[in-house]
Amino acid sequence: MLPPLIPPEVPIEFFRESMLELIIQTSTNLPPDVRQAMARALKTEQPSTQAGQALAIIGQNIDMACENEGPICQDTGMLTFEIKTPAAMNQILMKKQILEAVAEATKRGKLRPNSVDSLTGKNSGNNLGPGTPIIHFEQWEEPDIEVRLILKGGGCENMNAQYSVPCTLEHLGRADRDLEGVRKCILHAVWKAQGLGCAPGAIGVCIGSDRAAGYHHAKLQLFRPLDDVNPDPVLAKLEKEIMEQTNKLGVGTMGFGGLVSLIGCKITAANRLPACFFVSVAYDCWAFRRLGVRLDPVNGAIRQWLYRDPERPVERLVPGAGFQVSGREIRLEPPLSEEKVRALKVGDVVLINGPMVTGRDAVHHYLMHHDAPCDLRGAVLYHCGPVMLKEGEKWRVVAAGPTTSIREEPYEADIIKRFGIRAVMGKGGMGKKTLAALKECGAVYLHAIGGAAQFYARCLPQVTGVDLLELGIPEAMWHYEARDFLAIVTMDSHGNSLHEDVANATGVELGKVGAGS
């Protein structure tokens, strides 16, 4: 029996609050299947390796986010709602209440303001605007409302890939219009992501369709539980092969090298035009945030959670106090001298204590055309778009993990040379132009652990100021006093790059794996 039609002027009593709770839980509490996959990754990697150390920090961050109801990652991403409703439901009213819930979650610091006007560059401040959030409605014959939500950040969104086969792939040769060609495309997409998408990741794949719908179907695959089995035996076999083969590549956590590069692979196929054969890959990071609810169609109250049982206690991923420093770390106290920086080498673990400033896309663009609003000589410039809350006259850090650094490659070398910066820090590494500037000027690239937003928020206990706030909270230049802020030197002032080494080594492995049948 269908629920009664609700007039447009009558709100669904509990729907807005149900959506707010769904958003908060999705942002702060990983679903059990993802937690289990990360637990397996923790057991697989050797604790003494860089990948093992990074996973320990990630595990501790996941625990901290759940316990403190804070965002798992500071990039709370693009919100995508997939909603199924009985035929009689008022979808116009439901959309209005979803927008209200999104704005409220942003106000509470559970979401970072991520909606930016593509023409003016202005941040709306509340995650609302043309095209955001993404809301897809579909009618079905069930009596309940079903809402599924995924938060997919910009770093992993940039690692999405689409191939038009036949094509020629680096290390793999030609990929043809068959399952072997599809396999090569998927392997290439995972290899290409390296640490830029916060490995270990999960992928959704669509074979076929058109360009736009292919990406949509690939993203929908990310709503499948990691432990399900594809009902199509051909695709089930391909999923299993991809999981086995990608984890032989050696990309590892954050692209540091290691045994776990992928925690999930879900594939679908859709009919295509005779002239087109696309393979679309939706890449998601380890902070794989998606949950869902079943709702009462009359009052909008939550009847059932999908993916999780709220009555079951959440088990900690990292027991005890979590990741502990060893005492062998090198302490850095900005402003840094050239002598101190040139003594560092790839693989060194550092603890930063002292002043630190953030700067990402908009700040880098600003600095190419203006003087810096503060003295950056000897500074640590952190590629970070934090979640911040203003309490009275003071600001508090809610979440502060690194953003993907390669976006700043067009600017970084010039900024290092012009302003005398001694360390840039982010995730995923940078390119040859920046590496040359590090060597010339005596600077290093420090790699923080991607997505570890709660872990690093604890390392930034004091906000000492902010410049360029007109650029929006994520893009402003925030000034912090850091305390035992842990990072790894992955590009030094002697021309060495861990990222280049891993990319070369895994490229060789990709060729070996890709040659298999």
Mean of pLDDT values over 222-244: 98
Q: Does residue 454 sit in helix, strand or coil?
A: helix
Does the structure show a pLDDT above 60 at 2? no
Per residue in 296-336, pLDDT tens? 999 999 999 999 988 888 888 887 666 778 888 999 999 99
Q: Sorting pLDDT into bands at 50, 70 and 90, what band is 3?
A: low
Q: Is the pLDDT score of 9 beyond 70?
A: no
Burial per residue of 277-296, b for 16 or more beta-carbon CB atoms within 10 angstroms, e otherwise: bbbbbbbbbbbbbbbbbbbb
- Cα–Cα distance measured from residue 44 to residue 514, given in angstroms and rounded to the nearest whole number: 23
Q: What does residue 404 show for φ and ψ, rounded to 5 degrees?
A: -70, 120
Continuous segment of H or E residues that includes residue 96: helix 91-107
52 pLDDT above the threshold of 60: yes
CA atoms 195, 200, 204, 205: torsion sign: positive
User: What is the greatest pairwise CA distance in the chain?
Assistant: 76
Over residues 381-397, the pLDDT tens digits come to 999 999 999 999 999 99
Tell me the domain boundaries of the chain. Answer: 1-152+290-324, 154-284, 330-497
Given the candidates 1.10.620.20, 3.40.50.2000, 3.90.1150.10, 3.20.130.10, the CATH classification of the domain at 330-497 is 3.20.130.10
In 222-358, alpha helices (H): 233-246, 338-342
Burial of 384 (0-12, 13-18, 19+ CB in 10 A): buried
